[in-house]
Amino acid sequence: MAEVRSLGYVIVSSGDLDAWQTFATDLLGLQVAERTADRLRLRNDDKIYRLEVVRGEAEGVTVLGWEVNGKAALEELALRLEDDGYIVTRETTQTARDRGVSELASFIDPDGMRIELFYGQMVDKSRFISPTGAVFLTGDGGLGHVFQLVNDEEPFRHLYLDVLGFKLSDFIDFGPIQGTFTHCNPRHHSFAFAPVPNAPKGVGHIMFEVDDIDIVGRAYDKVLKEKAAPLALSFGRHSNDQMLSFYVNSPSGFQIEYGTGGVLIDDETWMPRRYDVPGFWGHERQLPA
């Protein structure tokens, strides 16, 4: 069965590209791949970009780009989505090239987020060089993970697990709210979601993982000492993926988790789990909920 393989790119709408550029380069260590008046593209590995910020009135994530492993997989997933009632658009070659991929299909998720499925992502001829010396853990695990706040969990469970082929990693009970964590590669989760009433829906955070605790620590210092970004959750270790991380508010308001040490899982042996806390220590909320 064809399935999604990794998180390939994320597209954000923002009115402040300058703030995004400073935040992404100075704090996160992403490299500017392209900067025009209306578009900022950022790399964290050999791909031509992983995060794109497009000038717009809305603030937040507007597109999730999920990688599949070829044309047949793309078509199989498109047909499966259509069987499920989704309207799938096979995008033009021009649109695909602009995204930096070989072929692209899109649909709208149950809460109105644009989802793109693609294969054949463009590799940059120049070497990735982080302005902070960060080395990001990507590869088979994709650019990182996203956590989406949703209206109802069942349509998302069905879409991601039954249709797109993600596997269950575990659940976390956030009080009465259940968070569902799913994987599509060895990264513990690439997509997580939770129905959170009275919160804006959409991507709540994107996680970038680096290979070195000192890179995380130096970034944390920039937040604490230089106020590089508003701290959202203090340094801590997550219960389920064991990520050592902190969270800041991005210039668009949603959060960025920046961490290291996340577990890798093996689908042959992994058994889904359940936790009643998101962290073993730390991750104290710093901003009003």
Dihedral sign, Cα of residue 95, residue 128, residue 258, residue 132: negative
Residues 41-70 that bind Fe ion (CB under 5 A): none
Q: Which stretch binds Fe ion (CB under 5 A): 12-20, 172-180, 216-224, 251-259?
A: 251-259
Q: Shortest approach of Fe ion to residue 164 CB, angstroms?
A: 19
Q: DSSP character for 108?
A: E
Distances (CA, A) of 30 to 39, 78, 240, 252, 253: 15, 32, 26, 17, 18
Read off φ and ψ for residue 231, nearest 5 degrees.
Answer: -70, 130
Q: Tell me whether residue 33 or residue 207 sits nearer to Fe ion (CB atom).
A: 207
C-beta of residue 150 within 8 angstroms of C-beta of residue 195: yes
Minimum Å distance from CB 205 to Fe ion? 6
Nearer to Fe ion by Cβ, of 119 and 147: the residue is 147
Nearest approach in angstroms of CB 255 to Fe ion is 9
**Looking only at residues 194 through 223 of this chain, which bind Fe ion when binding is defined by CB under 5 A?**
207
Whichever of 2 and 203 has its CB closer to Fe ion, that residue is 203
**Paired strand residues for 106:** 89, 116
Between 81 and 232, CB nearer to Fe ion: 232
Strand partners for 285 = 233
For the chain, helix, strand, coil in percent to 5 are: 20, 40, 40
Interface region with Fe ion, contact rule CB under 5 A, candidates 83-91, 160-168, 193-201, 253-261: 253-261
Contact 6, 190 (CB under 8 A): yes
Report if residue 257 touches Fe ion, rule: CB under 5 A: yes
Nearer to Fe ion, 170 or 257 (CB): 257
Residue 52 is encoded by which pair of tokens? 């794109």
Considering the rule CB under 5 A, would residue 244 count as an interface residue with Fe ion?
Answer: no
Structural Rg of the chain based on CA atoms? 18
Of 29-37, 112-120, 212-220, 250-258, the window that binds Fe ion (rule: CB under 5 A) is 250-258
Contact residues toward Fe ion (CB under 5 A) are 207, 257
